[in-house]
A and B are shown apart, each in its own frame.
Chain A
Amino acid sequence: DQQVKQNSPSLSVQEGRISILNCDYTNSMFDYFLWYKKYPAEGPTFLISISSIKDKNEDGRFTVFLNKSAKHLSLHIVPSQPGDSAVYFCAARDNTNAGKSTFGDGTTLTVKP
Protein backbone atom coordinates (compact mmCIF):
# COMPACT_ATOMS: atom_id res chain seq x y z
CA ASP A 1 0.00 0.00 0.00
CA GLN A 2 1.59 3.20 -1.18
CA GLN A 3 1.32 5.84 1.52
CA VAL A 4 2.53 8.75 -0.59
CA LYS A 5 1.19 9.12 -4.10
CA GLN A 6 2.02 11.48 -6.90
CA ASN A 7 -0.69 10.65 -9.38
CA SER A 8 0.71 12.60 -12.31
CA PRO A 9 3.84 10.97 -13.72
CA SER A 10 4.50 13.99 -15.90
CA LEU A 11 3.57 17.63 -16.35
CA SER A 12 4.36 20.03 -19.18
CA VAL A 13 4.15 23.79 -18.71
CA GLN A 14 5.04 26.85 -20.74
CA GLU A 15 7.83 29.06 -19.48
CA GLY A 16 6.49 31.87 -17.29
CA ARG A 17 3.33 30.03 -16.32
CA ILE A 18 2.54 28.32 -13.04
CA SER A 19 3.51 24.69 -12.40
CA ILE A 20 1.43 22.81 -9.85
CA LEU A 21 2.65 19.44 -8.64
CA ASN A 22 0.38 17.40 -6.42
CA CYS A 23 0.91 14.81 -3.73
CA ASP A 24 -1.56 12.78 -1.66
CA TYR A 25 -0.87 10.76 1.46
CA THR A 26 -2.81 8.27 3.53
CA ASN A 27 -0.94 8.06 6.83
CA SER A 28 -2.32 10.57 9.32
CA MET A 29 0.84 10.18 11.43
CA PHE A 30 2.89 12.06 8.84
CA ASP A 31 3.78 15.42 10.33
CA TYR A 32 6.46 16.83 8.09
CA PHE A 33 6.55 17.04 4.31
CA LEU A 34 9.38 17.75 1.90
CA TRP A 35 9.85 18.29 -1.80
CA TYR A 36 13.01 17.26 -3.59
CA LYS A 37 14.14 17.98 -7.13
CA LYS A 38 16.20 15.54 -9.16
CA TYR A 39 18.07 16.14 -12.39
CA PRO A 40 19.18 13.18 -14.53
CA ALA A 41 22.38 11.49 -13.31
CA GLU A 42 22.29 13.42 -10.02
CA GLY A 43 20.94 12.70 -6.58
CA PRO A 44 17.81 14.50 -5.34
CA THR A 45 18.27 17.91 -3.76
CA PHE A 46 16.06 19.36 -1.08
CA LEU A 47 13.75 22.10 -2.29
CA ILE A 48 11.21 23.11 0.35
CA SER A 49 9.39 21.65 3.33
CA ILE A 50 6.35 22.23 5.50
CA SER A 51 5.38 21.17 8.96
CA SER A 52 1.91 19.81 9.60
CA ILE A 53 1.15 22.76 11.88
CA LYS A 54 1.29 25.09 8.88
CA ASP A 55 -0.73 25.28 5.71
CA LYS A 56 1.68 27.24 3.56
CA ASN A 57 5.40 27.78 3.19
CA GLU A 58 6.99 30.03 0.62
CA ASP A 59 10.56 30.32 -0.64
CA GLY A 60 11.07 32.55 -3.63
CA ARG A 61 9.29 31.09 -6.65
CA PHE A 62 8.35 27.94 -4.72
CA THR A 63 5.33 27.60 -2.44
CA VAL A 64 4.08 24.47 -0.76
CA PHE A 65 0.48 24.19 0.40
CA LEU A 66 -0.78 21.60 2.85
CA ASN A 67 -4.40 20.58 3.29
CA LYS A 68 -4.38 18.21 6.25
CA SER A 69 -8.07 17.39 6.14
CA ALA A 70 -7.72 16.25 2.53
CA LYS A 71 -4.27 14.72 3.15
CA HIS A 72 -3.03 16.64 0.15
CA LEU A 73 -0.10 18.87 -0.56
CA SER A 74 0.96 20.76 -3.62
CA LEU A 75 4.05 22.54 -4.88
CA HIS A 76 3.56 25.72 -6.89
CA ILE A 77 6.34 27.13 -9.03
CA VAL A 78 5.74 30.67 -10.29
CA PRO A 79 6.98 31.66 -12.79
CA SER A 80 8.24 28.39 -14.22
CA GLN A 81 11.62 28.40 -15.91
CA PRO A 82 13.23 25.86 -18.28
CA GLY A 83 15.83 25.12 -15.59
CA ASP A 84 13.01 23.84 -13.39
CA SER A 85 12.63 20.84 -15.70
CA ALA A 86 13.38 17.86 -13.46
CA VAL A 87 11.75 15.06 -11.50
CA TYR A 88 10.05 16.27 -8.33
CA PHE A 89 9.60 13.92 -5.38
CA CYS A 90 7.22 14.46 -2.53
CA ALA A 91 8.28 12.93 0.80
CA ALA A 92 6.47 12.57 4.11
CA ARG A 93 7.94 11.93 7.51
CA ASP A 94 6.44 10.16 10.49
CA ASN A 95 8.36 11.19 13.57
CA THR A 96 6.74 8.46 15.63
CA ASN A 97 8.43 5.95 13.33
CA ALA A 98 12.07 6.89 13.81
CA GLY A 99 11.64 9.84 11.48
CA LYS A 100 11.71 7.74 8.34
CA SER A 101 10.69 9.46 5.13
CA THR A 102 8.36 7.87 2.62
CA PHE A 103 8.70 9.06 -0.96
CA GLY A 104 6.24 9.30 -3.81
CA ASP A 105 7.03 8.02 -7.29
CA GLY A 106 7.94 11.43 -8.62
CA THR A 107 6.53 13.78 -11.26
CA THR A 108 8.59 14.76 -14.29
CA LEU A 109 8.16 18.47 -14.97
CA THR A 110 9.03 19.85 -18.39
CA VAL A 111 9.05 23.62 -18.80
CA LYS A 112 8.99 24.60 -22.46
CA PRO A 113 10.68 27.83 -23.58
Chain B
Amino acid sequence: DVKVTQSSRYLVKRTGEKVFLECVQDMDHENMFWYRQDPGLGLRLIYFSYDVKMKEKGDIPEGYSVSREKKERFSLILESASTNQTSMYLCASSPDPTGAAFFGQGTRLTVV
Protein backbone atom coordinates (compact mmCIF):
# COMPACT_ATOMS: atom_id res chain seq x y z
CA ASP B 1 0.00 0.00 0.00
CA VAL B 2 1.10 3.52 -0.75
CA LYS B 3 1.92 5.47 2.33
CA VAL B 4 2.07 9.23 2.48
CA THR B 5 3.19 10.48 5.85
CA GLN B 6 2.93 14.01 7.13
CA SER B 7 5.25 14.80 10.01
CA SER B 8 2.66 16.37 12.32
CA ARG B 9 -1.06 15.93 12.88
CA TYR B 10 -1.46 19.17 14.79
CA LEU B 11 0.68 22.30 14.94
CA VAL B 12 0.26 25.61 16.72
CA LYS B 13 2.52 28.44 15.60
CA ARG B 14 2.78 32.13 16.27
CA THR B 15 2.24 34.86 13.71
CA GLY B 16 5.47 35.66 11.90
CA GLU B 17 7.10 32.30 12.54
CA LYS B 18 8.64 30.28 9.72
CA VAL B 19 6.80 26.98 9.51
CA PHE B 20 7.88 23.76 7.85
CA LEU B 21 5.40 21.03 6.95
CA GLU B 22 7.05 17.80 5.90
CA CYS B 23 5.67 15.04 3.70
CA VAL B 24 7.24 11.71 2.76
CA GLN B 25 5.93 9.04 0.37
CA ASP B 26 7.27 5.53 0.06
CA MET B 27 6.14 4.45 -3.42
CA ASP B 28 8.65 6.24 -5.62
CA HIS B 29 5.98 8.51 -7.08
CA GLU B 30 7.13 11.27 -9.39
CA ASN B 31 4.35 13.69 -8.52
CA MET B 32 3.68 15.35 -5.19
CA PHE B 33 1.16 17.98 -4.18
CA TRP B 34 0.26 20.30 -1.31
CA TYR B 35 -3.36 21.30 -0.76
CA ARG B 36 -5.18 23.19 1.92
CA GLN B 37 -8.72 22.39 2.93
CA ASP B 38 -11.05 25.03 4.33
CA PRO B 39 -14.78 24.78 5.08
CA GLY B 40 -16.85 25.67 2.04
CA LEU B 41 -13.78 25.95 -0.19
CA GLY B 42 -12.87 22.34 -0.82
CA LEU B 43 -9.28 21.40 -1.51
CA ARG B 44 -7.16 24.11 -3.10
CA LEU B 45 -3.80 23.38 -4.69
CA ILE B 46 -0.89 25.37 -3.27
CA TYR B 47 2.13 23.87 -5.06
CA PHE B 48 3.04 20.70 -6.87
CA SER B 49 6.15 19.00 -8.12
CA TYR B 50 6.70 16.54 -10.97
CA ASP B 51 10.34 15.82 -10.25
CA VAL B 52 13.15 16.43 -7.83
CA LYS B 53 14.04 20.12 -7.53
CA MET B 54 11.09 20.96 -9.74
CA LYS B 55 8.09 22.95 -8.50
CA GLU B 56 5.05 24.55 -10.00
CA LYS B 57 2.62 27.03 -8.49
CA GLY B 58 -0.89 25.88 -7.87
CA ASP B 59 -3.94 28.05 -7.44
CA ILE B 60 -3.02 29.74 -4.14
CA PRO B 61 0.80 29.89 -3.81
CA GLU B 62 1.02 33.29 -2.14
CA GLY B 63 2.71 33.14 1.24
CA TYR B 64 4.07 29.64 0.63
CA SER B 65 7.15 28.03 -0.86
CA VAL B 66 8.18 24.40 -1.32
CA SER B 67 11.27 22.29 -1.46
CA ARG B 68 11.85 18.92 -3.11
CA GLU B 69 15.47 17.89 -2.65
CA LYS B 70 14.69 14.17 -2.72
CA LYS B 71 12.08 12.27 -4.67
CA GLU B 72 10.30 10.95 -1.61
CA ARG B 73 10.10 14.22 0.34
CA PHE B 74 8.12 17.38 -0.40
CA SER B 75 8.17 20.21 2.12
CA LEU B 76 5.80 23.14 2.40
CA ILE B 77 7.21 26.31 3.92
CA LEU B 78 5.28 29.21 5.35
CA GLU B 79 7.84 31.99 5.26
CA SER B 80 6.03 34.17 7.82
CA ALA B 81 2.92 32.52 9.20
CA SER B 82 -0.26 34.56 9.35
CA THR B 83 -3.62 33.83 10.96
CA ASN B 84 -5.28 33.39 7.55
CA GLN B 85 -3.01 30.40 7.00
CA THR B 86 -4.79 28.52 9.76
CA SER B 87 -6.09 25.48 7.90
CA MET B 88 -5.89 21.75 7.25
CA TYR B 89 -2.90 20.99 5.01
CA LEU B 90 -2.91 17.86 2.91
CA CYS B 91 0.01 16.34 1.05
CA ALA B 92 -0.54 13.89 -1.81
CA SER B 93 1.47 11.87 -4.29
CA SER B 94 0.61 10.12 -7.52
CA PRO B 95 2.49 7.87 -9.95
CA ASP B 96 1.62 10.05 -12.93
CA PRO B 97 -0.34 13.25 -13.54
CA THR B 98 -3.37 11.33 -14.73
CA GLY B 99 -3.48 8.89 -11.85
CA ALA B 100 -5.42 9.12 -8.64
CA ALA B 101 -3.64 10.83 -5.79
CA PHE B 102 -2.79 9.24 -2.47
CA PHE B 103 -3.17 11.60 0.46
CA GLY B 104 -1.50 11.88 3.81
CA GLN B 105 -3.54 12.17 6.99
CA GLY B 106 -3.34 15.95 7.05
CA THR B 107 -1.79 18.56 9.34
CA ARG B 108 -4.11 20.86 11.23
CA LEU B 109 -2.16 24.13 11.53
CA THR B 110 -3.31 26.89 13.83
CA VAL B 111 -1.56 30.25 13.66
CA VAL B 112 -2.15 32.44 16.71
Contacts and interface: CB of A to CB of B under 8 A. Distances in A.
A68 to B, nearest CB: 18
Given A42-B105, A43-B103, A101 B42 contact: no
B52 to A, nearest CB: 17
B90 A32 contact: no
Interface residues of A, number: 26
Interface in B14-52: 31, 35, 40-45, 48, 50
A44 B103 contact: yes
Contact of B44 (A46, A49, A99, A103): A103
Interface string A78-111: 0000000000010101010011111111100000
Contact of A34 (B4, B35, B44, B100): B100
A42 B9 CA distance: 10
Contacts, number: 58
Q: Which 10 A-B pairs have the closest CB atoms?
A: A99-B97, A43-B103, A46-B100, A103-B43, A105-B42, A103-B42, A44-B103, A43-B105, A43-B104, A43-B106
B58 interface: yes
A42 B100 contact: no
Contact of A95 (B41, B45, B48, B98): B98
